[in-house]
Structure 1
Amino acid sequence: MTSVVVSGSSRGRGAQPAMHKTAVEILAQPRQWREVLALARARAAAMRPLLERPVAIVGAGSSYYVGLAAAAYLEERLAIPARAVPASVYRPHPGEGALFISRSGTTTEVLEAARAARAAGVPTLSVTCEPDSLLAQMCDASVVLAFIREESVVQTGSATGAFLLLRAVAHELSGGAPLESLATELEQTLARPVEPDEPFAHLVVLGSGWRYGLACEAALKAQEMALLWTERYVPLEYRHGPISCADAETLVFVLDPPDEAVQRLAADVEQTGARVVVGARDPLVELVRLQRLALAMSLRRGLDPDRPRHLVRSVVL
């Protein structure tokens, strides 16, 4: 019998200091999510034409990982072909729309991709936090999350907000259940201590389908803030080689539901000495939990999460 830690337990008593900008921005997400959900209801009809055809979701860094999650989610909910593409390698496809994601709307690769789409006559939509950005001006339409104002280098609410917007629009267009409970679920999660509170040096985040993009984004937060060695995989792929690196310094966090296959995988991973956490909340809520964990590990390691080394807020070349 495996002793998997399930998200939501009372274990862990880590404190989350609020003096860092990154911490403040992480904690602001319940309010932001409520505004995102209202915006999704207001803009879903206008976004419908782009989301009734094949679509490429284009971004860089966190925005690309949001695209990975969103493309899988749109395919699942709307039954349209959707692909996520790093902006640096985007090429327009005939008959396909393009959705560009960028917090600042200034990332060089994203702007170059938008120019390529416009030159090819591709219908374009941007999701950004900056209403006056060049990206917003270049696209046929733009959805602006102007209420998400991040000063930090590391994206938190801007990334979860962009994914939640597309997820909520997909629900609006497909007649799916409302997502209003997510903000409350996140609020309750953020009121709990950060867990697990034991130190680790190696983070593996596992997720399948749309959860894989969230796993990539969660691992990126730990790299950016805490300089941790991170990996991300589809859960059952972890047995096929990567598990050889697991040891007592490893935390494996699973975003997929705790079904029988995940429970068996968790038992196998624990045999390596690694610690396993299987999330019990919505995967997007668990992503925010992992943002907090990355922040806590950054502080534990004596780093400044507001100033991650070698990084800037927007990559402008």
Structure 2
Amino acid sequence: MNATERGIREQFPLWDRAPDCRIAPRPDHVQVVVGCGTSVHIADSIAVFLNAHGRASRPVPGNEWTRRPHDYVPAGLPVEIVALSRSGESTETVAAARTSREAGHPVVAITCAPQSALCAAADRLIETDTHPEEGIVMTASASLMLLLGMRYAGMTVGQPTTAAARTLLDRADPHLAGLIEGRTHFVFLGGGAFYGVAREGALKMQEMSLSQSEAHHPLEYRHGPISLIDERSLVIMMYHQDTLEEESLLAHDLLAKGAKVLGLGGPGTISLPVGGEPGTGPLVCLPVLQLLGEYVARSRNLDTLAPRHLTKVVTIG
């Protein structure tokens, strides 16, 4: 077991030790959740949770917000920036926080690095420790920032969710090797708050195993991307209970076209239930997607501690 896998399997005690969120979104402010790479995918899910809890929100990549803020939120609306960065040093995210603060917008930082540049650019801070062996690829830190963002949105995320995530990982683990055998095309599907996690799963697969991967809202998949499905495809379907019937029909279509389907919360080649507190399914599923990327990398003799062309912190200039 390498350090990447240890970080995936040992993240659950970190969830239970993560601090309760003692701050809340400012009333009447649009919540702009910014990040880069993994963090902007996590931001996508956090923004959905904020909207679902009555706080107008949207996710924006860091540099897009710095350079084109009014393409995303009309001028004149009060905004609060929620900036996500594991290291607190990512150039684009720190710049988004600094320029926002200079413009008079309050900034909340969610990070695993106290005393970082992002913390210095924030008015309020939500931080926790990540796994000490975590390398370039974000695993435990991604889950932790999602958890903290869910609590910031007003959700209850406690020990029952941790237990559900650990159980799902344990149940999925014996099936992953069989699911990936002979598969070179990986598709991650999820609606609502699952969509950001689907994007993160696709990113993990790319950076860990150098594989062809993609992410979509489930019912959008028939509108073009399904043309790529064949006997080399593995689809990870994260079912939303609001659309379980429609997504189940899609899964059966994909199976008929030769794909294998890992059904998290619904039917598939392998079907596994997703537990946890209400609405926490995206967080519960995330460790399985991380371990899947590690297993595909291992099958290709790739070292996830040294992914190609990547560094732990992206700094520019």
| Counterpart residue number, 2:277 | none
Q: Partner residue of 2:307?
A: 308
Matched, 1:278 2:263: yes
Task: State the SS of the aligned residue for 1:85.
Answer: strand
Q: Does residue 158 in structure 1 map to residue 141 in structure 2?
A: yes
What's the secondary structure of 2:110's corresponding residue?
A: strand
Q: 2:249 aligns with which of 247, 260, 264?
A: 264
Q: Give aligned pairs, total.
A: 288
1:117 aligns with 2:92: no
2:186 and 2:120 map into 1 onto residues whose CA distance is 39
Cα-to-partner distance string for 1:285-309 (whole Å, 9 max, x where unaligned): 2221111111011001010011100
Give the TM-score normalised by the residue count of structure 1. 0.86
Structure 1 residue identity aligned to 2:56? P
Does the Cα contact within 8 Å between 1:115 and 1:138 map onto a contact in 2? yes
Percent of aligned pairs with the same amino acid: 34
Cα pair 1:194 1:289 within 8 Å, conserved? no
Per-residue Cα deviation, 1:180-223 (whole angstroms, up to 9, x for no partner)? 21111122233343423232101100011111000000111110
| CA RMSD of superposed structures (Å) | 1.7
Which of 18, 24, 44 is residue 68 of structure 1 equivalent to?
Answer: 44
**Greater RCO between the two (CA within 8 Å, min separation 6)?**
1
Q: Secondary structure at the match of 2:108?
A: strand
Q: Give the Å deviation of 1:52.
A: 5.5
For 2:3 and 2:101, the matched residues in 1 are separated by 36
TM-score by length of 2: 0.86
Q: Which amino acid aligns with 2:252?
A: A
Report if aligned partners of 1:57, 1:101 keep a CA contact under 8 Å in 2. Answer: yes
What are the within-5 Å matches in structure 2 for residues 158-307 of structure 1? 158-171=141-154, 179-192=158-171, 193-198=173-178, 199=181, 200-257=183-240, 259-280=244-265, 281=274, 282-307=281-306
Q: Is the 1:171–1:178 Cα contact (8 Å) retained in structure 2?
A: no
CA distance in 2, matches of 1:125, 1:157: 21
| Maintained 8 Å contact 2:192/2:240 | no
Gaps of 5+ in 2: 70-74, 266-273, 275-280
1:9 matched to which residue of 2? none
Structure 1 residue 179: deviation in Å?
Answer: 3.6
Instruction: Report if aligned partners of 1:194, 1:293 keep a CA contact under 8 Å in 2.
Output: no
Match of 2:5 in 1: 23
Partner residue of 2:64 out of 76, 89, 100: 89
Q: Which amino acid in 1 is paired with 2:144?
A: G
* Gapped regions of structure 1 (runs ≥ 5): 1-17
* Letter of the structure 2 residue corresponding to residue 65 of structure 1: H
* 1:24-44 deviation line (CA, Å, top 9, x unaligned): 1101221111112xx12xx33
Relative to structure 1, the CA distance from residue 216 to residue 51 in structure 2 (aligned partners, 3 Å threshold; closer, same or farther) is farther
Kept after mapping to 2: 8 A contact 1:205/1:218: yes
